[in-house]
C-alpha cells in the first residue's frame, strides 16, 4: 500500500506526462496540416511522428529520470530448466531478483537462480533484514512483500 506522499508524487508526475502529450499535439497537427497536400497522409504521418520523437525523446527522458511515474518496484528474471542455487534441485522455472530499490544486480557476472520455494525464502529474509526494497517500504511493510510469480 502506498502512502499519501507517494500517491501525490505519482499523480503529479502523471499529470506532467499528460501535459507533455498535449504539447506534442500542435507540433504534430502543424506537420499534418501543411504537408498532407504535398506528400500524402501516410508520409506526413510518418514525418510528423519522427519529428515528435526527435523533440519529445528528451522531454520523456527527463520525465522518467526525474519523476516517480514508473515506480513499479521489482524487476525479476525468470529462466526455464535451471538448477536452484540454494537447494541444488533441477527445476522447470527459476527466479532471480535483478533490481529493487537500491538493490541492483543488473550487471551481475554470475547470477544465481532459485526455485520458487528458495526464492520466496530468500526474498522474505532479505526484505525483513532491509537488504532489498525501497527504504520507505522496508521500514513499514514488514511481511507484506510481493513474492516472485507462482507456477
Residues 12-40 have pLDDT tens digits of 777 887 887 888 888 788 888 888 888 98
Overall average pLDDT of the 90-116 stretch = 89
Examine the domain organization and report whether 79 and 57 are in the same domain: no
Examine the domain organization and report whether 56 and 109 are in the same domain: no
118 within a domain of the structure (yes/no)? yes
Examine the domain organization and report whether 97 and 54 are in the same domain: no
Examine the domain organization and report whether 51 and 82 are in the same domain: no
- Which of 39, 66, 93 finishes a domain? 66
**What does pTM read for this prediction?**
0.44
- Which of 13, 36, 66 finishes a domain? 66
Q: Please provide the average confidence, as pLDDT, over all residues in the chain.
A: 77
pLDDT > 70 fraction of the chain, expressed in percent and rounded: 77
> Does 135 have pLDDT greater than 60?
no
Buried b (16+ CB within 10 A) or exposed e, 82-110: bebbeeeeebebbbbbbebbeeebeeeee
pLDDT at 90: 95
pLDDT in tens, 51-101: 888 888 887 777 666 544 444 567 788 898 999 999 999 999 899 998 887
148 within a domain of the structure (yes/no)? no
- Which of 45, 66, 87 finishes a domain? 66
Examine the domain organization and report whether 79 and 137 are in the same domain: yes
> Does 119 have pLDDT greater than 70?
yes
CA 97, CA 124: separation in Å to the nearest integer? Answer: 12
Instruction: Provide the number of structural domains found in the chain.
Output: 2
pLDDT at 56: 82
The sheet that has 90-100: what strands, in order across it?
Answer: 75-83, 90-100, 103-104
The secondary structure element, H or E, covering residue 104 is strand 103-104
CA 3, CA 18: separation in Å to the nearest integer? Answer: 23
Amino acid at each position: 500500500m502506498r502512502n499519501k506522499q507517494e500517491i501525490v508524487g505519482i499523480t503529479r508526475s502523471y499529470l506532467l506526462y499528460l501535459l507533455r502529450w498535449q504539447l506534442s499535439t500542435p507540433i504534430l497537427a502543424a506537420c499534418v496540416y501543411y504537408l498532407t497536400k504535398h506528400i500524402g497522409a501516410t508520409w506526413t504521418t510518418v514525418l510528423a511522428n519522427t519529428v515528435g520523437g526527435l523533440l519529445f525523446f528528451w522531454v520523456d527522458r527527463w520525465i522518467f529520470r526525474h519523476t516517480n511515474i514508473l515506480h513499479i518496484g521489482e524487476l525479476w528474471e525468470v529462466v526455464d530448466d535451471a538448477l536452484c542455487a540454494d537447494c541444488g534441485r533441477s527445476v522447470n522455472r527459476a527466479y532471480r531478483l535483478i533490481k529493487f530499490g537500491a538493490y541492483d544486480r543488473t550487471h551481475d557476472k554470475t547470477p544465481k537462480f532459485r526455485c520458487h520455494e528458495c526464492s520466496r525464502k530468500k526474498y522474505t529474509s532479505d526484505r525483513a533484514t532491509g537488504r532489498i526494497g525501497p527504504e520507505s517500504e522496508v521500514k513499514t511493510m514488514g511481511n507484506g512483500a510481493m513474492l516472485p510469480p507462482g507456477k
